[in-house]
Amino acid sequence: MIPGLLVPLPGQKFDGWGGRFWGVSESIVGSLTPRVGGETELQTVHFVLGAQDQTEDCEPDYEGLPQGASTSTHMLAGAVAGIMEHCLMFPIDCVKTRMQSLQPDPAARYRNVMDALRRIVTTEGIWRPMRGLNATAVGAGPAHALYFACYEKLKKTLSDVIHPGANSHLANGTAGCVATLLHDAVMNPAEVVKQRMQMYNSPYRGVLDCVRAVWQKEGPAAFYRSYTTQLTMNVPFQAIHFMTYEYLQELLNPHRQYNPSSHVVSGAMAGAIAAAATTPLDVCKTLLNTQESLALSSLSSGKGQGQGQGAHRHISGLAHAFRTVYRLGGLQGFFKGVQARVIYQMPSTAISWSVYEFFKYGLTKHQHDKRRAQHREAEM
């Protein structure tokens, strides 16, 4: 069992609180009966007389379980994984947002991640790094539900076409990219609100106040101003992420059993590599989301190279963001906050994959065992 995660090893029973949880989850999953076309039902275990006791003691193959899992199982597991991932790592995400600031206030210039956390807590209060968490939690649930359900379905469908009977890195990368389109469409408004509340001296009293102010001053389009940049960043991020994860799974878990340690290590390494490679785009996304006031002032006061005072009321579009980052920070400006981003993504993706695989395994195994028990009763 991994410290900090209630993850049973293969063969452990889901008793006590866990058993009750799976019962509740089963009722939720059972109510979401529609399945994506082409998915197969879990195969009923047929017991042969004389070998029944032996069969009852055997654990069903883990990789066989998810193949029959309903879309709703993937959605529920994905939603839980997404909420836990974002909530547990939120203070580091706050630091990342601030360290990517192009023109930070003198009081918000930090040497490293730990220095930033210490100073934020000391000067602004212990709960300051958690501002905007409720907006993130509301967005992360449905965003990750769509994300994982789409990924699992497309991965299987494309793998059967590209490389039947085996794993395909092209299928994994393509499925991750398509799933990102759905994820970001849901998550982008929450990201805008979250990052504006994370900034130093944020003027907003709360999430609703931020939503209302942005809507009134900048219009509804402001919530999707960074969407194309987010996609431009997340499509390569997720392609690298999923291909690295599946490749490491082939090395660390070749039989594709339920193995929590392999999910944690593979997820952490995949997240770190993808995060470092896409940091320049993340800096641009942060600038578009926050519309950093000091950066806008710098542009309008003479660094706009001949453009008028009204020309920089807002930064819009990836090209404009790229020019602004380079103008104010040079080449190294594109890697502001890279340390915080990698430190955030490593445990974040490790948590996401381990929690997702755990819930996917647990929910599907519970359904499998329930049907097996019903079959035994029918045999009697």
User: Model-level pTM?
Assistant: 0.69
What is the per-residue pLDDT across 172-198, written as a single tens digit (0 to 9) for each? 888 988 999 999 999 999 999 999 999
Whether the Cβ atoms of residue 286 and residue 195 lie closer than 8 Å to each other: yes
CATH number among 1.10.1740.10, 1.50.40.10, 3.90.180.10, 3.30.565.10, domain 64-379: 1.50.40.10
Domain ranges of the chain: 64-379
135 or 59, which is more confident: 135
The DSSP 8-state label assigned to residue 60 in this structure reads P
CA distance 238 to 79: 17
Q: What is the mean pLDDT of residues 79-104?
A: 90
Phi, psi of 104 (to 5 degrees): -70, 150
pLDDT tens-place string over residues 63-74? 444 455 678 888
Is 366:358 a contact under the CB 8 Å cutoff? Answer: no
- Give the integer Cα–Cα distance in Å for 340 and 324: 22
Q: What is the mean pLDDT of the chain?
A: 79
Residues 109 and 100: beta-carbon distance below 8 Å:
no
Please report the pLDDT score of residue 300 as a whole number.
Answer: 66
pLDDT for 141 equals 94
- Helices of type H across 253-337: 260-277, 279-290, 293-298, 318-329
Does the pLDDT of residue 107 top 50, yes or no?
yes
pLDDT tens digits, 5-55 = 444 444 444 444 444 444 544 444 444 333 333 344 434 333 333 444 444
pLDDT band for 355, please (50, 70, 90 cuts): confident
Of the candidates 339, 373, 147, 369, which has an alpha carbon nearest to the alpha carbon of residue 242?
Answer: 147
